[in-house]
Amino acid sequence: MTLADALARAAAQRLDRLDAQLLLGHVLGRPRSWLIAHDSDALPPDAARAYAALCDRRAAGEPFAYLVGEREFHGLALQVGPAVLVPRPDTETLVDWALTLLATEPAGGLADRSSPQVVDLGTGSGAIALAVKHRCPGAEVCAVDLSEAALAVAQANATRLGLVVEFRAGSWWQALPGDRRFDLVLSNPPYIAGEDPHLAALRHEPTLALTPGGDGLDAIRAIVAGAPPHLHAGAWLLLEHGWDQADAVAALLQQAGFEAVATHRDLAGRPRCTGGRWPG
Ligand code: GLN
């Protein structure tokens, strides 16, 4: 069997051609450009078996990132596995907004602090916390998750990337001392509604990270409701949410007393994160 034959077999399984090439490159330890130049080479039997197994898993809907064990997020190579949600490019919108606030929020605000206190609630692979620490090394970053298995993944990513982040286990604010205050709170919580048909396609990822059940807003309600005692005056709270939840999240923030409530759009132009500033 040649490389071209192996790719043709993947096409017959209806695998995306790019996925098939990247999986073959992963098995052979070669870049795509090499595969293209060597497509009449014979594929060694071990590699052929490993490749076929990966193709079968991909065809059964397993995320590509789990098959290769890695996903790039905001310029960082993160290791990922079934204990954590695969980081999405949409979430880079939240990180970019956070970095802008850390750099520019004026007088008495975030940019004035020598070491702004940042927390990522529901960190999963550590994507948000690590991206912020990477780009803003002066920030003191804490990351919380209910799942010990997720925290182990996040901690390993931090160690491998040489980024110092404090990890804490627990549910949202309960993971933190009652008097611990922050300048910036970030979260990509589970927000898919319990009955959303899209959940079927996401069945390989942890349900805990995807949906709180019900209308999908319970985790966001808990984060907003518990926030005030944990916020310095002028702190910002930024939340990722579903494309149709911006108005509901903005209303929750306004009712809780947040000011300057605004929504940012993801790369596809969908309203994806909403946040506000705590008065002071
Ligand atoms: N954005 C993810 C998706 O729709 C969901 C992430 C989440 O619930 N936080 O696939």
Q: Which atom of ligand 1 is nearest to the CA of 216?
A: 8
| Residue 71 is assigned to a structural domain of this protein | no
Identity of the residue numbered 190: P
| Residue 74 is assigned to a structural domain of this protein | no
Residue range(s) defining the domain that contains residue 204 = 81-277
Q: How far is the CA of 9 from the centre of ligand 1 (A)?
A: 31
Query: Which residue has its alpha carbon closest to ligand 1 atom 9?
Result: 190
Query: What pLDDT was estimated at residue 203?
Result: 96
Please tell me if the CB atom of residue 180 comes closer than 6 angstroms to any atom of ligand 1: no
Pair (192, 101) in one structural domain: yes
Tell me the C-alpha distance between 19 and 25, whole Å: 10
Q: How far is the CA of 250 from the centre of ligand 1 (A)?
A: 18
Pair (94, 51) in one structural domain: no
Identity of the residue numbered 125: S
Residue given tokens 């310095």 in the structure block: 232
Q: CA of 56: how far to CAs of 12, 15, 199, 268, in Å?
A: 11, 9, 21, 30
Pair (143, 236) in one structural domain: yes
pTM confidence score:
0.94
Query: What pLDDT was estimated at residue 144?
Result: 98
- pLDDT values of the chain reduced to their tens digit, one per residue, 280 residues: 999 999 999 999 999 999 999 999 999 999 999 999 999 999 999 999 999 999 999 999 999 999 999 999 999 999 999 999 999 999 999 999 999 999 876 544 565 667 899 999 999 999 999 999 999 999 999 999 999 999 999 999 999 999 999 999 999 999 999 999 999 999 999 999 999 999 999 999 999 999 999 999 999 999 999 999 999 999 999 999 999 999 999 999 999 999 999 999 999 999 999 999 999 7
The CATH number assigned to the domain holding 155 equals 3.40.50.150
* DSSP, residue by residue, 80-93: --TTSPPPPGGGHH
Q: Angle CA(150)–CA(268)–CA(191) in degrees, nearest 5?
A: 40
Q: How far is the CA of 64 from the centre of ligand 1 (A)?
A: 16
Q: How far apart are the first and last CA of the chain?
A: 68
Q: How far is the CA of 188 from the centre of ligand 1 (A)?
A: 8
Q: Which atom of ligand 1 is nearest to the CA of 240?
A: 9
111 alpha carbon, distance to own chain's centre = 24
Dihedral over Cα of 33, 34, 37, 39: its sign: negative
